[in-house]
Structure 1
Amino acid sequence: MCDSFKSEYQICEEIGRGRFGIVYCCFSPSSLDSFAVKSIDKRNLLDDDIDRQCLDKEPKILQVLSPHPNILQIHNIFDSDSHLLIVTDLCKEDTLYDRIVSAGPFSEPDACSVFTQLAEALFHCHRNYICHRDIKPDNILFDTRNRVKLCDFGSAEWFGCAGETEKMSGIVGTPYYVAPEVLMGREYNEKVDVWSAGVILYIMLGGVPPFYGDTVEETFAAVLHGNLRFPTKIFRSVSAEAKDLMRKMLCKDVSRRFTAEQVLRKFS
């Protein structure tokens, strides 16, 4: 840990490990608040330009998006020759994925509570011309007050500025959640996030993904086919309004697919 960090924070226990580094709990004696700090050893990335680009881009994107109650906030950055230390909100250990696995399908009110906050986060991203591109339950955390915190912007991309928008390209995302236009290798827009969020809502309410197969290839084929169904046995207690919203989010025709703003209006 660099000296400038040590002058402001006290390091506590390790709380996680990820692709790029170790996450610790830390404490600020001046504010009496606790935070998380991701410690990244840059010496391990010297020969990996892609990883370095992701590390450089994510803090910049989070700084543009901060503060927002439903997006992981950066509170401080310490950069030395050997390490990058990123101080963020302190969140609970379990992700939305963990909660779905442990509790099974959510009740509609509980799903609505989580999903509304996710929609708020997406709308904030998109109006700042940032597309997350890897929306999935693993990237949805909860802070100590149980608020949703969207995280992991390593795959995010700017798609415009000052009213001018551009298409994006590149196969980015995760099986089950990736939008069909991404798999087709076409240029795409920020509505890929809306598709992924629609998959999450379906899984929260039904306990299974809308498109899946026994292999990654079969899953991708199911996504491309896009045959959205609501089995009565699973969705018997789900409202017609919720099903209609999912149809409009999981619409293969991108021109007809809802925007994040239209999704949010459904809850206002």
Structure 2
Amino acid sequence: MSEELNRDYRIGDEIGRGRFGVVYRCYSPDSGEIFAVKTVDKSLLSDAVDFECAEREAKITQLASVGNPHVVQIHAVYEDETAIHLVMDLCEGGDLFDRIAACEGAPMGEADAAAVITVLMEALAICHQRGVAHRDVKPDNVLFDGEGRLRLADFGSAECFGDGVPMIGVVGTPYYVAPEVVAGREYGEKVDVWSAGVVLYIMLGGIPPFYGETATEIFDAVLRGNLRFPTRVFGGVSPLAKDLIRRMLCKDVSRRLSAEQVLRHPWITSVGGSRCVANQT
């Protein structure tokens, strides 16, 4: 570990592991506050592109998180010869994937789903205003802190956009990736709205909107974009909720809602204000 990191924080037990690094619990002896530190092992960064991605994650997360209460905050960044260390908020409340899985295939109630999607879209709207696209919105990256507040995390696939320069490259997770990404076209920040629309569909229906046994089959289904609402799982879902999903999962990017437009949709304004999920344990 970095000497400077060890000077400022005390490192505890491992709480997570990813492709390039490990996440540990840590605390500040000065303030007594508890954090998480993500240590990215430079030896696992196989080339200059990987290294650039690791450095960019720190910079983009800082850009997206400052003053954005719904994004995991970066409190400090350290670098030594062997690793890059990101000290960030500790989210001990699990993630949205766990909460969906706990329903055992049953749909989430509309009030709870609206509470989640409202805060998620607030987080994305601020990111987009700052020229940051997350590009990997999925339940695994929607975390909850110890008080149940939502935090958007993992900006490892994020990219900056603006000045008329579009983004390119197939990134993201198959079930949640937008069709323009799969097609290899240039794209903008509305890819995040598509992914959030998939999250909303899964919360309300308990199943993904576009399914396949392999990544290729899923991508084919996404490209077809044949959006359906099976009566057996969506029979009790309101027309307004389905309308919002259609507008988020719209293949025509020019007609797809922006994050700010999602927040003004009648289903959000009428149902989303309750923020019930924030109080769940």
- The TM-score with structure 1 as length reference comes to 0.94
Structure with more relative contact order (C-alpha pairs < 8 Å, separation 6 or more): 2
Counterpart in 1 of 2:71? 71
CA contact (8 A) 1:118 1:150 kept: yes
1:91 offset after TM fit, Å? 0.7
1:1-268 to 2 correspondence within 5 Å? 1-45=1-45, 47-67=46-66, 68-92=68-92, 94-103=94-103, 104=105, 105-160=107-162, 164-266=163-265, 267-268=268-269
Q: Gapped runs of 5+ residues in structure 1?
A: none
Deviation >3 Å, runs of 4+? none
Contact 2:124 2:192 in 1 (8 A): yes
Comparing 214-223 with 124-133, which one deviates more in the overlay?
A: 214-223
Deviation of 1:192 after TM superposition, in Å, equals 0.8
Q: What is the CA–CA distance in structure 1 between the aligned matches of 2:206 and 2:32, rounded to whole Å?
A: 40
TM-superposed deviation, 1:69: 1.4
Q: Deviations over 1:224-251 (max 9, x none)?
A: 1111111111012211111100000001
**Alpha-carbon distance in structure 2 between the residues aligned to 1:3 and 1:214:** 47
What do residues 98-126 of structure 1 show as CA deviations (whole Å, max 9, x unaligned)? 22112242111111111111101110111
Where does the alignment leave 5 or more consecutive residues of structure 2 unmatched?
A: 270-281
C-alpha RMSD of matched pairs (Å): 1.3
Q: 1:30-78: CA deviations, max 9, x gaps? A: 1121000012222332x42221011010110111122311111100111
Residues 246 and 37 (structure 1 numbering): CA distance in 2 closer, same or farther, change over 3 Å?
same
Which residue identity is paired with 1:185?
G
SS at match of 1:194: helix
Matched-pair contact (CA < 8 Å) for 1:69–1:147: no
Q: How big is the shift at 1:93? A: 6.3
Moved more, 4-13 or 112-121: 4-13
How far does residue 92 in structure 1 lie from its aligned partner after superposition?
2.0
Percent identity reads 58
* Secondary structure of the structure 2 residue equivalent to 1:165: coil
Map Cα deviations across residues 188-247 of structure 1 (whole Å, 9 max, x no partner): 111111111000000011000001122222211111111111111101221111110000
- What is the DSSP-based 3-state SS (H/G/I as helix, E as strand, rest coil) of the residue aligned with 1:172? coil
Cα separation, 2, equivalents of 1:149 and 1:76: 18
Tell me which amino acid in the other structure corresponds to 1:189: G
Higher deviation after alignment, 3-12 or 128-137: 3-12
Letter in 2 for 1:27: Y
The offset of 1:94, in angstroms, is: 2.6
Calculate the TM-score normalised by the size of structure 2. 0.90
3-state DSSP of counterpart to 1:149: strand
Paired residue type of 1:181:
E
